[in-house]
Amino acid sequence: MARAFLFVLDSFGIGGADDAARFGDVGSNTFGHIAAACADGRGDRQGLRGGPLQLPNMASLGLGQAAKLATGFDFAGTTKPAAGTFHGAAQEISSGKDTPSGHWEIAALPVTFDWGYFPQTVPAFPPALTAAIVHEGKVPGILGDCHASGIEIIERFGEEHIRTGKPICYTSVDSVLQIAAHETHFGLERLYEFCKVVRRLVDPLNIGRVIARPFLGESKETFERTPNRKDYATPPPEPTLLDRLTARGSKVIAIGKIGDIFAHRGISEIRKGVGNMAMFDKALSAMDDARDGDLVFANFVDFDTEFGHRRDVPGYAAALEAFDKRLPEAFARLKMGDLLILTADHGNDPTWPGTDHTRERIPVIGMAPGMSGGDVGLRPTFADIGETVAAHLRLAPGHHGTSFLETIATHA
């Protein structure tokens, strides 16, 4: 029995979702539009990066072929995939284009029910919910009560929050209620306890996540979010790949926010860092520690939070290039029989209107030393990823998805 490694480049979609019209996202393509912007100079930023998008290591896994399959996009950096690699794309069948839906489906549990959402009105929250939050959370009131992006709303209400003690509560098109509060003036532990109260209050509304968003600074110019974010997610309604592994006695090492996404169920150990590069360091150390039958499941959130939502094309491109440069460190840790999969949970096209996720297909690329690899095609559900990991780690098949292990496992 060997090991498995799942690296999720949060929001790195490759376009082409066949149901994109339902979400208003027809034509969105995170990877394709970033590459196009870099090719014509819109991806340049002095002191950060310039020129065509350079992703030679992901290209060696078949990223260009995956993009071609998903949308017909021709990536200028496409090369012949290396031996023992595989490539394909996957279509989401979950009802939403949010983080939990994408990750749960990757872990072989599609979300077939509808999450609850808050309307794009001001106020966004039902008066009865707001009253309960204030009363049971023991706060003098709330600020925000609207759809907003995290940095902007902290800049808008941060000083008033410090002055009044009212937490900043906001939402987005995702099924989420986010709460920003100052780590020292409001208190970090108090914020966490407050979020637990709100989590209980929104359960009847089927809200996917309540997120604590702590920040520091004393003025609009100095406010910045800290790495002490914590997600309070609804638990998956059925066992996921992670539950199946830990029940068998295997270890699941969660990197980044994976533990929060799965409500800390099916998780053996959590390792966190600040930023993609620190997260990569944690993933590498977990690869060193993983034993036969174990899974390392990593989320690289900066692509989404720092660049996708902020519609920052040069920043997203630079982050992709920085990630790509470090992949040889992961490749070098793979042993014969291991399985490494790089994928995404949704799109977040930084050239698209608004600030929200985009409904897209995702890349399914990776390396399997000692196996033949090859083209795994367009998978009808993200759950095929989880079932492939399950088959590789010798678990019985689950109820959702189909493994593509036989396609790549013929020994070269």
Q: What is the pLDDT of residues 282-321, one digit of tens each?
A: 999 999 999 999 999 999 999 998 999 889 999 999 999 9
Q: What is the pLDDT of residue 152?
A: 87
Q: What is the pLDDT of residue 147?
A: 92
- In the predicted model, what is the mean pLDDT of residues 27-46? 97
Contacts of 363 (CB under 8 A, 6+ apart): 12, 14, 31, 63, 66, 67, 70, 87, 88, 89, 342, 343, 344
Question: pLDDT tens digits, residue range 184-239?
Answer: 999 999 999 999 999 999 999 999 899 999 999 999 899 998 989 888 988 899 99
Q: Is the pLDDT of residue 168 over 50?
A: yes
pLDDT band at 354 (very low <50, low <70, confident <90, very high): confident
Q: What is the pLDDT of residue 151?
A: 81
Q: Is the pLDDT of residue 410 over 80?
A: no
Q: Is the pLDDT of residue 411 over 60?
A: no
- In the predicted model, what is the mean pLDDT of residues 239-264? 95
pLDDT band at 412 (very low <50, low <70, confident <90, very high): very low
| Percent over 90 (pLDDT), the chain | 88
- Count other C-beta atoms under 10 Å from residue 131's C-beta: 11
Question: pLDDT tens digits, residue range 386-396?
Answer: 999 999 999 99
User: Which range scores top for mean pLDDT: 92-101, 112-121, 194-203?
Assistant: 194-203
Q: Name the token pair of 181.
A: 């509060």
Q: What is the pLDDT of residue 88?
A: 98
pLDDT band at 1 (very low <50, low <70, confident <90, very high): low
Q: Is the pLDDT of residue 56 over 60?
A: yes
